[in-house]
């Protein structure tokens, strides 16, 4: 079984960032990214550390704005709008999940769409639908890069499991574009006939966020991109991670969890941050 590691794909994206900065003479320009974190979620803390490390490596100035878990919706809006008005901040990322009392979709709409490095703002979603987007959702865009890097055939029937606006839905849209030409079936955790769908497809991308695919469902010819990252704890209390797919599954190729899609998502975030700077400077 071939393991589809994310590190070489992330390195290719970082190389593209270096070329982009050279082309536009940005190596001495202070490109600023602010990561807004509300509360203290352990998983979010790990993701934020990975993002700040990547920023340092690529010469992007990353700052973390930590806000109290009980912050009001109004105060969160005020903080985001301050970042919109700050000329030193070129990218804004609102780290998910938010506490339950805060509306994530509404909070995303408060971000200046030209600084929306996650690609979730309604304006950027509309541009994605019309195939005009520059700032695309990081994980779907990263998966597209992964498929290209490993030369995985896309002119075929693809099963995408997960209908979120963060991964599944935008990914299905990207895969169906002219030139990619996939025929996409979009399933989800409530799909009643999921097992036969999995058995029918040889290219499966799962982004549900919980173990949902037993090893028996997969053929040995299947290629699986596993986006799920589910924290587990062993008998000794040590934390580890699994994906949507049974880790014992044997198939033709599979992205591991961790070390699969995660590094690519972080690299795409950095790429979007540079693209956001170029948009704001009228260089796109």
By CB atoms closer than 10 A (0-12, 13-18, 19+), residue 136 is: buried
Angle among Cα 49, 54, 57 to the nearest 5 degrees reads 130
Residue 213 has what DSSP assignment? B
In angstroms, rounded to a whole number, what is the distance separating the alpha carbons of residues 47 and 238? 18
195 CB-side CA count, 13 A: 4
Residues with a catalytic annotation lie at 51, 95, 118
In angstroms, rounded to a whole number, what is the distance separating the alpha carbons of residues 188 and 250? 22
In angstroms, rounded to a whole number, what is the distance separating the alpha carbons of residues 199 and 168? 19
Residues 6+ apart with CB under 8 A from 250: 1, 215, 218, 220
Nearest to 171 by CA among 214, 204, 123, 211: 204
For the annotated binding site, the residues are: 162-164, 229
């Amino acid at each position: 079984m071939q393991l589809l590691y994310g590190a070489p794909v992330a390195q290719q994206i970082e190389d593209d960032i270096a070329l982009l900065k050279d082309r536009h003479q940005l190596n001495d320009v202070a490109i600023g990214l602010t990561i807004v974190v509300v509360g203290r979620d352990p998983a979010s803390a790990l993701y934020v550390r990975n993002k700040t490390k990547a920023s340092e490596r690529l010469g992007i100035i990353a700052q973390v704005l930590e806000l109290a878990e009980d912050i009001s919706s109004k105060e969160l809006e005020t903080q985001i709008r301050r970042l919109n008005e700050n000329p030193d901040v070129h990218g804004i990322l609102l780290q998910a999940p938010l506490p339950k009392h805060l509306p994530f979709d509404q909070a995303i709409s408060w971000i200046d769409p030209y600084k929306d490095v996650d690609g979730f703002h309604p304006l950027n979603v509309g541009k994605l639908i019309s195939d005009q987007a520059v700032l695309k959702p990081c994980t779907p865009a990263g998966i597209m890069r992964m498929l290209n890097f490993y030369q995985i055939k896309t002119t075929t029937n693809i099963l995408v499991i997960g209908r979120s606006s963060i991964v599944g839905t935008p990914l299905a849209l990207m895969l169906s574009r002219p030139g990619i030409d996939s025929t996409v079936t979009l399933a989800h955790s409530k799909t009643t006939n999921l097992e036969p769908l999995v058995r029918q497809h040889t290219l499966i991308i799962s982004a549900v966020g919980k173990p949902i695919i037993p090893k028996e469902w997969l053929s040995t010819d299947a290629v699986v991109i596993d986006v799920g990252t589910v924290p587990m704890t062993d008998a000794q209390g040590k934390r580890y991670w699994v994906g949507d797919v049974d880790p014992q599954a044997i198939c033709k190729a599979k992205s591991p969890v961790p070390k699969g899609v995660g590094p690519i998502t972080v690299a795409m975030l950095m790429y979007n941050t540079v693209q956001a700077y170029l948009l704001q400077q009228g260089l796109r």
